[in-house]
Structure 1
Amino acid sequence: MLIKNGKIYTMAGKVYEKGDILIEDGKIKEIREEIKGNYEKVIDAKGATIIPGMIDAHCHLGLFEGGKGFEGSDGNEMTDPITPHVRAIDGIYPMDEYFEKAVEAGVTTVMTGPGSANVIGGQFLAMKTYGRSVDDMALLEVGAMKIAFGENPKRVYNSKGKMPMTRMATAALLRQTLIEAKNYKAKKEAAEKKEEAFDINIKMESLIPVLDKKIPLKAHCHRADDILTAIRIAKEFDLKLTLDHCTEGHLIPEYVKESKAPAIVGPTMSFNSKIELNNKSFETPAVLMREGVKVAIMTDHPVIEIQYLPICAGLAAKNGNLTFEEALSTITINAAEILGLSHRVGSLEVGKDADIVIIDGNPFDLYRNTLYTIINGEVVYKG
């Protein structure tokens, strides 16, 4: 497939005012100002904007289905505050209508997983947004371990009359579990060295990739003190961390920068439904980015419907005085780098997945239309 004559934002340091992209076997084979030759399929993108497929770095797509109520709600196992062993891949329904809405909007990759009811909520999944089987759509079957601070675990377990009812208890349960996981790992390694039998504990097994820094803790933290607690615990145990929501990050940007943890900001285009959202601001991404923090923007779907991801980035650009490419980076290359997927998605470069969106204008414009969404070199939406 050849895409020609479009304005290409590669998000890899180069913009083609008029350029061509050649796709072969689902990958980007070539990008130049002009590519000559005869090709099986040609898309003339004259007058259109070409960008990488957009990425939502934190959502619950497929786990909270539209219009299904309890039957379609599979994102929070609210029976135990410690559930590291539950996996998003086992709860996602790819036929949920919002996958189609994501594709139509140009959102081609998501990190989706459990909600924030539990102190440790379970394993997030990185996946493409088009397909019938989540196994085929998956990029990372286990991409992060969800943890949560603040109001949500307090509210859920206060209603059950059990720990945690306070922020202190939330942190204490997380520390206790991480210590148990460290002890379990040491015992397992000692048993393996001696070639002795060892009883597998699925909860503890699920935390070994966290301890080995293969996946990050994905920390739900809105308020400044919760952000700092997440940073504190990650530092104590020498763990990778992403600060998800980071709602009051603009109040403590120097501490976020010092932590070296990236921020996944949002959902800002939503109602202040609880106290810890009172300082929510569309300026947060810009404040953090100017401090040197790597920032992505999220919808937290279904809190904000996933098709409005580019609108969220546009509002952040407007309110924070971000450039077009700075704003676009928060839902493309920055998101890909934070999720550990930049070798495949997030920018238009030779060898990467051919996840490409062709738009009849500015992607942040309410009046724009998606002309084509291409995933893995296949046209999956045509406007």
Structure 2
Amino acid sequence: MLALTGGNIFTMVGDNIENGTVLIKDGNIIEIGESIAIPSGTEIIRVNGRIITPGLIDAHSHIGMFEEIYRVEGDDGNEMTDPLTPHLRAIDAVNPEDLAFQDALKGGVTTVVTGPGSANILGGEMAALKTWGKTVEDMIVKFPIGLKAALGENPKRVYGTTSKAPHTRMASAAILREALVSAQNYIKKQENWINGEKDKHEPERDLKLESIGRVLKREIPLRVHAHRADDIMTAVRIAREFDLKIIIEHCTEGYKVADELARLNIPAIIGPIITNRAKVELQGINLSNGKYLEKAGVNFAIMTDHPVVPIQYLALSAGLTVQGGLSEKTALQAITVNAAKLLGLNGLGTLEKGQKADLVVWSGHPFDLRSKVELVYINCNLLSFD
């Protein structure tokens, strides 16, 4: 049993707890509050004057797939040979020894979503992982956590220059629709065989269509890379046609269509925040994007898009949205509790009795550049950093 005492606890579900204690047993929080009876034999760590938060959640990255240090040797995020590769699985590309996982822990990030890049219309299935573990199996929190899709300039740039579709935004949308219709037909054949057409041969398995089928059955969301407002609305249009759950990834110009996203209850993961207008689609980048999404009532999280922004700068990214007018509370929620809810990660993102003990001890406020991560509790392990 472990007790962290004397800290200022940011529970993310109510008021902060001053001079509080977190009591942990078997990886779970069994008590939390100001006056907690600590059983004899408990290991006590005094964190007086420190801040305790839930472990941070990076809702969109490519950690472990675009590895630190390496170039082509560790570049496993984009299969640029076919615009439709929904059957690819992030878990088959992640290297747990990617040095970025160490950086994540030192930056207070204990949970990440990683997945394919945006070269393809459908890129593959994404995974939620802990940032500590020897194997991917040790690290998996939820898989699949979504199917990566991409609209806009990236698929056009990859395939249009080779005289292969998509060469236009129209083709990108059409290819996505065709894939969804093919999966609908595949599901219907499977259902017909199960429901009585036993005289016919069972339809052969198709891994691509099975993956898209999980989206059509609303088992997982379609997570659509879309920066510009017009691409965002194309994603929305297709989602409504096929009754899909979607998440808008990046959502750079989300502020232009925030009311529409809110009306349709479509969530977003915004970022990268620490970037310039590196490509045409980022012309409309606006540090106040989060503020406008919050005002409209859009549920959103904040990403690093690692390695675009190094994963250890997730807290800094969220802090910069406060400079853009987002409330400090919402900014912190966007990398903790709101990110967990948006991703369907039960037991993460808050500090409360009965939740998993997944937490970080900071020397100061996470948004303060001078603050350092001192302790991380993750997967029943207490890690310390000088």
Asked if residue 117 in structure 1 is aligned to residue 119 in structure 2, the reply is yes
**1:50 is matched with which residue?**
52
**2:349 is matched with which residue?**
346
Correspondence for 1:307 among 302, 307, 312: 312
Q: Which digits, 9 at most, give the CA deviation of each residue in 1:151-171, with x for residues without a partner?
A: 100100012210001100000
Asked if residue 211 in structure 1 is aligned to residue 213 in structure 2, the reply is no
Amino acid at match of 1:80: D
SS of the residue 2:145 aligns to: strand
**2:359 is matched with which residue?**
356
Asked if residue 293 in structure 1 is aligned to residue 298 in structure 2, the reply is yes
Q: Which digits, 9 at most, give the CA deviation of each residue in 1:167-192, with x for residues without a partner?
A: 00000000000000001000011112
8 Å Cα contact 2:120-2:155 kept in structure 1:
yes
**2:129 is matched with which residue?**
127
**1:254 is matched with which residue?**
259
Correspondence for 1:264 among 269, 272, 276: 269
**What is the CA-CA distance between 1:215 and the residue it aligns to?**
0.5
**What is the CA-CA distance between 1:271 and the residue it aligns to?**
2.6
1:116-265 alignment runs, 5 A limit: 116-194=118-196, 195=198, 196-265=201-270
- What's the TM-score, normalizing by structure 2? 0.97
Correspondence for 1:283 among 272, 288, 297: 288
Identity of aligned residues (%): 47
Q: Distance in 2 between matches of 1:239 and 1:299?
A: 25
**What is the CA-CA distance between 1:259 and the residue it aligns to?**
2.3
Q: Distance in 1 between matches of 2:140 and 2:383?
A: 17
**2:36 is matched with which residue?**
35
**2:73 is matched with which residue?**
71
Correspondence for 2:336 among 332, 336, 353: 332
SS of the residue 1:206 aligns to: helix
Amino acid at match of 2:356: D
**What is the CA-CA distance between 1:365 and the residue it aligns to?**
1.1
**What is the CA-CA distance between 1:34 and the residue it aligns to?**
1.9
Amino acid at match of 2:250: H
Q: Distance in 1 between matches of 2:27 and 2:309?
A: 31
Q: Which digits, 9 at most, give the CA deviation of each residue in 1:36-86, with x for residues without a partner?
A: 232432111110011000000000000000111001000000000000000
Amino acid at match of 1:328: L
8 Å Cα contact 2:27-2:357 kept in structure 1:
yes
**What is the CA-CA distance between 1:18 and the residue it aligns to?**
1.7
SS of the residue 2:324 aligns to: helix
Q: Distance in 1 between matches of 2:145 and 2:33?
A: 33
**2:16 is matched with which residue?**
15
Q: Which digits, 9 at most, give the CA deviation of each residue in 1:311-346, with x for residues without a partner?
A: 0000001221x33221100100111011100x2201
Q: Distance in 2 between matches of 1:290 and 1:181?
A: 37
Q: Which digits, 9 at most, give the CA deviation of each residue in 1:6-50, with x for residues without a partner?
A: 111100123101211111111111111122232432111110011
Asked if residue 6 in structure 1 is aligned to residue 25 in structure 2, the reply is no
Q: Distance in 2 between matches of 1:351 and 1:125?
A: 25
Amino acid at match of 2:22: I
Q: Distance in 1 between matches of 2:45 and 2:247?
A: 38
SS of the residue 1:373 aligns to: strand
Deviates more, 1:244-253 or 1:192-201: 192-201
8 Å Cα contact 1:27-1:376 kept in structure 2:
no
Q: How many residues of Structure 1 are paired with residues of Structure 2 in the alignment?
A: 381
Q: Distance in 2 between matches of 1:345 and 1:28?
A: 11
SS of the residue 1:272 aligns to: coil
SS of the residue 2:255 aligns to: helix
- For structure 2, the 5+ residue unaligned runs are none
Moved over 3 A (4+): none
**1:91 is matched with which residue?**
93
Amino acid at match of 2:359: I
8 Å Cα contact 1:57-1:111 kept in structure 2:
yes
Structure 1 vs Structure 2 CA RMSD: 1.0
**What is the CA-CA distance between 1:295 and the residue it aligns to?**
1.3
SS of the residue 1:143 aligns to: strand
8 Å Cα contact 1:2-1:39 kept in structure 2:
no
SS of the residue 1:239 aligns to: coil
**What is the CA-CA distance between 1:281 and the residue it aligns to?**
1.4
- What's the TM-score, normalizing by structure 1? 0.98
